[in-house]
Amino acid sequence: MTSKFDPNTVVDDINKFIDSEEFVNDRSKEEICQVLELCELNINQAITFFTNLGRKYDCHQLFEFLQHSSILFGQDLNSVRRLLNILSKKLGTDFFSSLSTFLQLFSQNAERSTNGEEIQKLKSIITEKEQEISSLYQALNSLNKQIVTIYEKSQNPKVIKPKSTSNYNVNIESLKMVPKDSKNFYNIYNLLNACALQDDDETIKFAIANNFHEVKHDYHGRNILIQTEAKGDLKFAKKLIEFGADPNAKDQYDNTAFYFFCDKGNLEAVKYFSLPKFDINLKFSSGCTALMIACKNNHTDIVEYLLSLPGIDVNLRDKIGFTADNYASSPKIKALLKGKLGS
């Protein structure tokens, strides 16, 4: 007596039966459909099973099997294309082969696009880091020469002379050797920042007089002053402005150092950049003011400080007509703005 067919038994050991041509030959179309209804095939199982089914059944029957199938395609596009090509050949239709070709082209374009973007991004990062390392090495070399000079003088008190600006000539000479172009942006930045930390005002003055501070980063058009925000180098920023750098200089997106310090929530920097010689109502990208940016980022302390300044304009609008109040989401900030409007 022949035992009754149980599709669940097949599903429990699906790999064994998928690889077996005997199973395909011994079981009826209806029994195979029952099995397909109960299981989910991964892409490799589907390739094997439909290859075996194609040896016995015609295109109409294969299509019926496909209607009962649930296939987990996964992320291996090559395997997906292989299955589509098998189905196209067995079913006698170009639809699946066309879909396979589309997937191939899509994959190649996506990979090319992604790789290109990633490569450019990595190249940019590598270039920046190389420039930073180079400029740091130069700054360290300059400091080392000064340390050697100080040590030699300490060993021979007779040659010690009063401090003079000539002590810093080594920094000026180092700066003279650096070309004023975007490729050397970080060389210039790090050397001058080191000078600011040393209170080497003579080199800073020399740099301003010779427009080293106007060199711009080739990626976003920031000059040396604007870049101080990204590094958090407020002392450097103060030195640059003290000796003549334009505090309202903009990058290619019309943003200033003041804008970025407001965006980051650096209250000390905002207080410095809010001195009378600066334009606290200056509009940046999208027509935003410093007050709008502080409201947007919920920097309550900065909003409160800006509102305390005479001349702050809370009614200015950006390019789409929004005021500072439209940017504010914090109830406390909205209350501060309302208080200013009512005063």
Q: Where are the domains of the chain?
A: 7-93, 126-245, 247-343
Q: What is the pLDDT of residue 63?
A: 81
The DSSP secondary structure of 6-52, one letter per residue, reads -HHHHHHTHHHHHT-HHHHHHS-HHHHHHHHHH--EEHHHHHHHHHH
SS3 183: helix
Q: What is the pLDDT of residue 139?
A: 60
Residue 64: how many CA atoms within 13 Å on its side-chain side?
13
pTM score of the predicted model: 0.50
SS3 71: strand
Distance in angstroms (rounded) separating the CA atoms of residues 240 and 234: 10
Q: What is the pLDDT of residue 122?
A: 61
Q: What is the pLDDT of residue 134?
A: 55
Query: E strands within 161-257?
Result: none
Residue 60: how many CA atoms within 13 Å on its side-chain side?
0
Q: What is the pLDDT of residue 161?
A: 39
What are the per-10-residue average pLDDT scores of the chain (343 residues)? 70 79 84 85 86 84 82 80 80 64 60 56 60 58 57 50 49 88 89 90 94 87 88 89 90 86 89 78 86 92 92 91 91 91 65
267, 297 in Cβ contact below 8 A?
Answer: no
218, 185 in Cβ contact below 8 A?
Answer: yes
Q: What is the pLDDT of residue 284?
A: 82
Q: What is the pLDDT of residue 240?
A: 94
Q: Which CATH class is domain 247-343?
A: mainly alpha
**Torsion, CA 157, CA 162, CA 163, CA 169, rounded to 10:** -80
